[in-house]
Structure 1
């Protein structure tokens, strides 16, 4: 399920596009050390839109060092119909406003480049159709570079959709994804754009002539039908998606659909074009009665209700058998030993990324985890285990919950721990286990971590424990074998893929 933070990020998709597209343009004349980029905006009365400004070096081989930098934003060009909200907070700038100019100053470290996010709010009684410019002037190293961006006052359109939907299918089958939209505003929406995407195990398989499949963004469909205020619409046919034949029975894959006004989409696509090849089949339609009320541009200020999170439940009979391997080690009091328990997918299905604490590790008695795997965090209960903000790799816990990366048949996921022996006792045991709904073999779902003392003559003072993976003792202080990675990073591509940092799979934006 998309977190609200991810939704906010996706709502600013055009901003990210502007950054990428502008940074990819050819460098201008060599005598100009840097360029300034501002993003165009659509804003509605009584609503705010968010955008970025940034400056970047024209020569990547010898980047301009900004150092002490000033920024001036002249917003007099929009003052008749919009207000520039005070920028600078949280961006490392010190800003002051005098009349209709914001003056900001900052000191940038080596290779850092200036950027600034801000919002513009349309005035209450302003008439849609008005346009004006924001003017930027950046001074660094004795050089001043200028740029502009255009702010357009647009009609307020509120596209809404169901927050959740669910579909199902067996591995290798085609699944139809529904999509609905409602115009919750007071103005007719002249068309709309639907963007739908999902896991690479769940790929678009349609041929509609008004839909294009993008390598990085899933599929987007453009509709010319008008959406009347207060009326709901459904696409004329479900969008077909193909489930990969290796998907695991019982898995739930996540997909997202989002609706845009055509003008919002055009502005975003101008910054980062998503070409894609259109289909050659029939046209996908929205069933609606056309009704034209205005020719002003249109924007949807509240994009938080434009999303549907689609759960794709995999049926059939294609399980994944997970097998646990324990570990053994030996040493004397004060030694730090390394253990490497693991879980292997015996197939036949591919195991999709598991964000929850699927793999559990209990530290043996008489030992302390001085280093923990970066895929693990201290565990007390499932409710308290947080894949987004957990204390990844935190030492000192007695029990750990670990996530499992996307794992094809035959792949092993190891988890390395460095344990300090505080009190050497024979057969000091800890536990490892895995739990996965639909796992066909529970007999290989658990194992042990066994730590034994080393006698004065060099022999072990007990049995060798259960499981493989024994290691040599590491005497003295910790040698920093595996540093905790910590946290999870959201990676989203155009239109809505949310992939965690820990997932080792193909990137689908």
Structure 2
């Protein structure tokens, strides 16, 4: 059965139910397994994989060893890859599950392979045929996890029903000493030679002095790669400056005022994802050649070589009569106090890849509902991955 995630909903209650007395008893009792000292299973043979190409594939030379005293009568080897990778030619003794994004974990695939054979102490084993991983067109910076255990993992309750592989079943065979590993779980990166094109789209506005007009500007990851920011990365933001002579009546979702402009985040950086920022602007006066802008912030994006679409104009045509101001900065009148009010805005057809803009709210949106809080703070606008997702418990 597939991997039990670190924050598996059913397991939370079970852990809490142990209570303090149960925890003390567990700590005091010696580990036992069939009347003997419990086996200590470790996994090895996995290292970071760099420079693979979309459309290619690679094998996983996993090793399993038992550093304990007692034998493990049956073992499960669990594999997990993020959404730029997939499994190919899965053996029939493995169950595959697609897990949708939730909490702070991205979309991923899991494969759990059951080996109904003893793993003896001091012996290194390896699957007779290594599991094969396919590199998808959207691959860029992905993650691979491998775990071994002697109890059957639970399926993830946010995933699809597990499905058995169709390739011939495999067994564990004795391998060469020296690749025993040192932990029950290994987590490594897989980087691909690929690009992702971040781009913005501007707007052309028209109205009379005194009118309130709707401004919609857009961020898109045109792909082909999805982007999963590393912990600590400064994530790209969208900077929006309304045209001069306007004031903001209602700002866009995931946007906050900063000086004369607005800084906006996004929910997803998956390939093809979009975020539309909808503002309501009041035309206060006519300003000759008034023009605003939407642009990407300057964080490094080595995967995005096309900089020609990183900025777009927001034009304003004022019709009819009305006062006329001097030609000036597009920031004139763009940051009224009304712009500080929150707005649900128009989130656009963004593909949710498990990321939400940092909102400063203590209430998280339920699955499937659009986040509707205003971005706060001056740092990263996408939730940084917490490495607690590295654990598969």
Task: Specify if TM > 0.5.
Answer: yes
2:73 aligned residue: 190
Q: Is 1:10 aligned to 2:15, yes or no? A: no
Assess if the C-alpha contact under 8 Å between 2:243 and 2:315 holds in 1: no
Provide the secondary structure at the position in 2 that maps to 1:416: strand
State the alpha-carbon separation in 2 of the partners of residues 184 and 269 from structure 1.
Answer: 27
Q: Retained in 1: the 8 A contact 2:82–2:143?
A: yes
| Match for residue 276 of structure 1 among 163, 168, 182 | 163
Aligned to 1:239: 131
Q: Choose between structure 1 and 2: higher strand proportion.
A: 1
Matches within 5 A, 1:262-341: 264-265=151-152, 268=154, 276-287=163-174, 305-315=183-193, 319-327=195-203, 339-341=215-217
Q: Is the 8 A contact 1:363 1:369 kept in 2?
A: no
- CA offsets 1:371-394 (integer angstroms, 9 cap, x no match): 65545xxxxxxxxxxxxxxxxx55
Distance change >3 Å, CA 327–CA 463, structure 1 → 2: farther
- 2:308 — aligned with what? 443
Residue 85 of structure 1: how far off its partner (Å): 0.9
Q: Which has the larger radius of gyration?
A: 1
> Retained in 2: the 8 A contact 1:235–1:284?
yes
SS of the aligned residue for 1:175 comes to strand
Q: Distance in 2 between matches of 1:228 and 1:372?
A: 64
Are the aligned partners of 1:167 and 1:312 in contact in 2 as well (CA < 8 Å)? yes
Tell me what 2:376 maps to: none
Instruction: For structure 2, list consecutive stretches of 5 or more residues without a partner in the other structure.
Output: 100-108, 177-181, 331-335, 347-356, 368-381, 385-391
CA separation in 1, counterparts of 2:71 and 2:311? 60
Is residue 124 from structure 1 mapped to residue 28 from structure 2 by the alignment? yes
206 and 482 in structure 1: CA distance in 2 versus 1, 3 angstrom threshold: same
Q: Deviations over 1:94-114 (max 9, x none)?
A: xxxxxxxxxxxxxxxxxxxxx
> Which residue of 55, 58, 62 corresponds with 1:175?
58
CA RMSD of aligned residues (A): 5.6
5 Å-filtered alignment, 1:35-54, equals 51=15
Select 2:41's aligned residue among 144, 156, 159. 159
Relative to structure 1, the CA distance from residue 357 to residue 448 in structure 2 (aligned partners, 3 Å threshold; closer, same or farther) is farther
- Distance (Å, rounded) in 1 between the aligned partners of 2:90 and 2:130: 12
1:255 aligns with 2:144: yes
TM-score by length of 1: 0.48
User: Which protein has greater RCO, CA pairs closer than 8 Å, 6+ apart?
Assistant: 2
Contact 2:207–2:318 under 8 Å retained in 1: yes
Aligned to 2:375: none
- Structure 2 match to 1:85: 20
Conservation of the 8 A alpha-carbon contact between 1:341 and 1:432: no
| TM-score (structure 2 length as normaliser) | 0.59
Within the alignment, does 1:413 sit opposite 2:275 as a pair?
yes
Q: Deviations over 1:310-354 (max 9, x none)?
A: 423223xx64444322346689999987543323455xx534145
Aligned partners of 1:283 and 1:458: how far apart in 2?
80
Check whether the contact 2:251–2:342 (CA below 8 A) recurs between aligned residues.
no
Whether the 8 Å contact between 1:195 and 1:258 is mirrored in structure 2 is yes
